[in-house]
Amino acid sequence: MSGLLTLIRLILRRDRVKLPLWIGIFVLGLLAMIPLLRDVYGSKESLQVMYATLAANPAGLFMTGPMDGPTFGSLMTLETLLWWGLAIAFLNTLLVVRHTRHNEEIGAQELLLSGQVHRASSLVAVLIVALGVNVLITIALGLGMNVMDTGWGAEQSWLFAISMGTVGFVWAAIAAVVVQLVESGRSANGILAGLIGASFVVRGIGDFLGKADNSGLLQPHWVSNLSPFGWLQATRPLTESEWSPLLISLGFVAVAIASGFILLAGRDVGAGLLPSRKGRRRASRLLGTPLGLTLYLQKNIFIGWFVAVLVLAATIGMLVPQMSEIYSNNDSISQMLAISGSDELTAAFLSMMLAIVCVMVFAYAVHGLGKLRGEEASGRLESVLATRVSRLKWLGMHFDVVAIGGSIMLAATGLVLALCVNTLSDLTVDVWEYVLAGLAYAPVMLVFMGLYVLLFGLLPRLAGAVAWLYFGFVAFALWLGPIIKLDRVVMDISIMEHVAMSPVEAIAWQPLAVITTIAVGLIVIGLAVFRHRDVTS
């Protein structure tokens, strides 16, 4: 354990901003869901309607699991447990990869080992920090839920919090194994993201194949027990309160961590246990060009977000029949959408969901442009600029690839949503109208991209943080602003407030022209500033 305390302090020093921000957003966001869900769905009538329509809905079972009863605790479980479980899983895997495999990839681990540091100390240190993060999340959630008027008991609140912290550390343990297998942090994150997605799907299949017991509760198929999310859901924290599934998680953590250290002892520093895939002897004609390199760097980001957007749009389309019945009997939703009547309410719901999925596309745009800072910080940009590629050409290629990819996603969102509605419900919508409605959000996407380019030119170190902060505000204002009656002056800061919510509303071309002009202005200024500033690494 030589150097362990020093390494823990180093991790906390490096992530002194990220860790408090992650913990705060996770805890406060989850606690904020309680009063918001109570205001919207908390009435007995709404809970009864939702339970009758969602308890055995195939799409609902796959995406959120079963609803155990017409209670607020069951609703809270349905809306938060698995989705926030996904969030804490990514939080832990990113943390472990950053301070293990990434350190080896950049050569920092060899520097650390040249001092009085044991080879295993880095893995021990990051696991201790990950455990501390999950314990803090557990304590904060437990205390917060006990202070609030939740409608369930203290035991249920603490089981919810402990289950959430436990599944987070389960994924930290899985990451401790995966980082021993491959040579790069990018590959480790890719494998872990695939495992998280596969685990979620396995749990969904288990719920889909489950059967109701004598008491009417749906019991998942044994397949669900193969997934950490299945163990999380099996606790049923706010309904039946089962503590025993936590033992499975703790046993798995012990085995996974032991396996991680055994694998670590059997490999060289900087190497992975799995053989690296050999590349081609010669690059393809496209990859040998600057544009080909840009496409290669942006490929995985586009594929990941594209799949996520399509899955979300298809899921919303499958749930339209149930949602239309629930929302037509809910005064809070009617007030939020400011439209009355079942047909118009369904159209307004689809427009709102289309806008929310399009916001995910804006997240892709920010993520894709984040490659700009990554290439600069790593020092690779200097090598590229040493060739005949100019600064403006390099930035412009990344911008164009992300803009085209985002536009494809916007059009596909409207297309998939309309096709699912026409196929799976009694409603009939104009497919091309929804495709155009999705593309109508392209100017808003360009504003996010222009903001990032401007910040990249002025404050490259803060570009990502500020862009993501504004994105978070826009998403919050769109989804929760009307419910909590956010002040109009504050709402107007969101760019989405100045766009018609098509297709339920006619596309307003004049505001889109103004928004496009603003985006172009941001882009031009950002390019001009970037052209004259120093390149830093």
Domain-embedded: residue 278: no
Predicted confidence band of residue 132 (pLDDT cuts 50, 70, 90): very high
Range of the domain at 13: 1-273
CB-based burial label for 408 (10 Å; 0-12, 13-18, 19+) = middle
Judge whether 513 and 447 are in contact, CB under 8 Å.
no
Neighbours of 95 (CB within 10 A): 24
Q: Helix or strand or coil: residue 535?
A: coil
**297 has a pLDDT exceeding 80:** yes
Same domain assignment for residues 251 and 175: yes
Domain closes at, from 273, 306, 322:
273
Distance between CA atoms of residues 364 and 37, nearest Å: 27
Domain-embedded: residue 279: no
Mean pLDDT computed over 218-233: 89
Distance between CA atoms of residues 274 and 119, nearest Å: 20
pLDDT of residue 340: 43
If one compares 317 and 153, the residue with the highest pLDDT of the two is: 153
pLDDT of residue 179: 92
Same domain assignment for residues 253 and 302: no
Distance between CA atoms of residues 337 and 93, nearest Å: 38
H helix runs in 378-462, sequence order: 380-385, 391-424, 431-439, 442-458
**379 has a pLDDT exceeding 80:** yes
Q: Indicate the pTM of the whole model.
A: 0.78
Domain-embedded: residue 218: yes
Predicted confidence band of residue 116 (pLDDT cuts 50, 70, 90): confident
Least confident of 304-308, 381-385, 393-397, 423-427: 423-427
pLDDT of residue 344: 62
Domain closes at, from 273, 296, 320:
273
Least confident of 219-233, 329-343, 396-410: 329-343
Same domain assignment for residues 300 and 249: no
Predicted confidence band of residue 284 (pLDDT cuts 50, 70, 90): confident
Mean pLDDT computed over 81-108: 90
Same domain assignment for residues 334 and 185: no
Same domain assignment for residues 145 and 245: yes
Same domain assignment for residues 424 and 325: yes
Predicted confidence band of residue 339 (pLDDT cuts 50, 70, 90): very low
Domain-embedded: residue 231: yes
Domain closes at, from 247, 273, 299:
273
501 Cβ contact partners less than 8 Å away, ≥ 6 residues apart: 348, 351, 352, 355
Q: Phi, psi (5° rounding) for residue 273?
A: -70, -30
Whether residue 503 has a cis bond before it, omega within 30° of 0: yes
Predicted confidence band of residue 342 (pLDDT cuts 50, 70, 90): very low
Same domain assignment for residues 242 and 379: no
